[in-house]
Amino acid sequence: MLLAIGIGNTSIKLGVFDGDSLVVTFHVASVIHRLSDEYALTILGLLKLKDISPVQITEAALWCTVPSIAPSFDDLLQRYFNVRPLVVAAGVKTGIKIRMDSPREVGADRISNAVAAHALYGGPVIIADMGTATTFDIVSREGDYLGGAIAPGIVMAAEALFTRPAQLYRVPLNAPKKAIGTNTVSAMQSGLIYGYVAMVEGLVARFQGELPVLAKVIATGGYAPLIMQETGVLSVYNPDLSLMGLRIISQINTG
């Protein structure tokens, strides 16, 4: 079995693959100061709930956007699972060509998303990953990573509203009945939800205009379902896209 791990800024996604099948997924909070033994205790406990023993894990692959956490996972995987993880980084075969001015600047999470999206849905394809930040990635029909865009995530934008202006406060991230808010809560909800939807629609329209043929748009990330309720530009939702990318990259590098 392959243990795939995506270490993000706020959460860590874990998935266990048996061959090509994703057997189970878990989410754990990213905590910079948590030790490898503490992460191991959590992960081993979660696996035990699904009757998966550490000896069944024969491979591991990970991407990480929080460099300070990566050593903890390298340590725990070697000590508790007896496997050395494949870390998505420069020099690792991915099956796609990165056509950026500086390829090393592309995050490993975005590369994993791009690999999976092209393998699963073909190309051209646009990936909208809506998490702590919102990233857009574009892959050509031939499998070339062309670039994309980076914007604040919807919660990041909301926190900026809550923490800076003295008279504003936290509101539920729900779409209001109308775009024209008639009170502070509905006005903030309109600006956050419909404003974010407009940003997604506007950027996707610009991407489509720069591509030779119409691209399929794949959504992933925890806040994608919220936005998909309000727009039709996002074709497919795949919450496990980056984990699937890790499986594909692992297969490419292990033969």
The structure tokens 């939807």 sit at 197
Active site residues: 109
Sign of the torsion formed by the C-alpha atoms of 184, 189, 191 and 192 = positive
The residue length of the chain stands at 255
DSSP bridge pairs for 129: 135, 220
Q: Which two tokens stand for residue 24?
A: 């189970």
In three-state form (DSSP H/G/I as H, E/B as E, the rest C), the secondary structure along 94-162 is: CCCEECCCCHHHCCHHHHHHHHHHHHHHCCCEEEEEECCEEEEEEECCCCEEEEEEEEECHHHHHHHHH
Local structure of residue 66 (DSSP, 8 states): -
